[in-house]
Structure 1
Amino acid sequence: MLRAVGPGASVVVCSTCRLSAEQREDAAGRRGGALLVEALHRVRDGDPAYAAVAVQDMPCLFACDRHCAVHVRGTGKVGYVLGDFTPDEEAARAILDYAARHAESEEGVVRYADWPQGVKGHFIVRTPPDGFVCS
């Protein structure tokens, strides 16, 4: 069930997420999560500013009430699950902008003033790194 991935900064995308709150798939039968994975890869591969952030996917993050969910994480850092994105390049860029700032931070905490507008209102939960809790 588990698939090994490299350590470090990453955005883990739920590849089976709904397209939207109202729709499971687009007209071609593609899930929103799969479309978001593709958008994230296109944006990441087209901009060297995102080279330090891996894009990984897995089926179901169990955030099913919130479509197009992602987990922003890094080794030894607080992680964040976000959702309710439109699976397009604008959302992908906002997610990667946030993930790059997260990667640059010491503990995974990015000042609110530095959040891209496109991620505000999308946070679902924060996750402590293994061996720590937040104080």
Structure 2
Amino acid sequence: MTTWITICDTCKRDDWDAGTHERTHGEDMAELVEKHAAGLDVKTRRVSCLMGCAHGCNVTIQAQGKLSYTLGRFTPDDESAAAIVGYAELHRESDNGQVPYRQWPAGVKGHFVTRHPPLPDTDSGAGG
């Protein structure tokens, strides 16, 4: 089962300024996450806006049939990118997407924003 890291490439932290930054913090983070994920068994993709502006830099960790997570409030640096990719690898290895807290890389602790249950496999019994 493929675990995806979706990176918001339009995120701007509070200190972003057009006069001092050539690109968004999200673009910087995406480049770093892609670098750390290269050659590993997780995939990355960029999207423009995860609508978590108050929590930039934002990423999601997702896989079919597993719990999904949104994480934010990262500084776009190597340490954060490595922690995100490390968590994604643990997510990929888990049966349901839930990774025991004791296994979390230190760099993701305190960065979880939301958790979403997996979508149902079929439309039957979905209600409403």
Q: Determine if the TM-score, normalized by the shorter chain, exceeds 0.5.
A: yes
Alignment of 1:40-119 (within 5 A): 40-45=33-38, 48=39, 51-119=40-108
Question: Which of 1, 4, 9 is the equivalent residue of 1:10?
Answer: 4
Structure 1 runs of 4+ aligned residues shifted over 4 Å read none
Contiguous gaps of at least 5 residues in structure 1? 1-6
For 1:53 and 1:67, how far apart are their aligned partners in 2? 22
**% identical aligned pairs:** 36
SS in 1 for 2:95: coil
Q: Distance in 1 between matches of 2:119 and 2:7?
A: 20
Q: CA 1:24 to 1:56, structure 2 compared with 1: closer, same or farther past 3 Å?
A: farther
Q: Which of the residues 23, 30, 35 maps onto 1:30?
A: 23
Deviation at 1:73, TM superposition (A): 0.6
C-alpha separation in 1, matches of 2:83 and 2:26: 16
- Larger gyration radius, structure 1 or structure 2: 2
Computed over aligned residues only, the root mean square deviation of the Cα atoms, in angstroms, reads: 1.7
Q: Does the residue aligned with 1:65 lie in a helix, a strand or coil?
A: helix
Q: How many residues align?
A: 121
TM-score by length of 2: 0.88
What is the distance in 2 between the residues matched to 1:52 and 1:26?
38
Q: For residues 34 and 26 of structure 1, do their structure 2 counterparts lie closer, same or farther at Cα, with a shift above 3 Å needed?
A: farther
Deviation at 1:127, TM superposition (A): 1.0
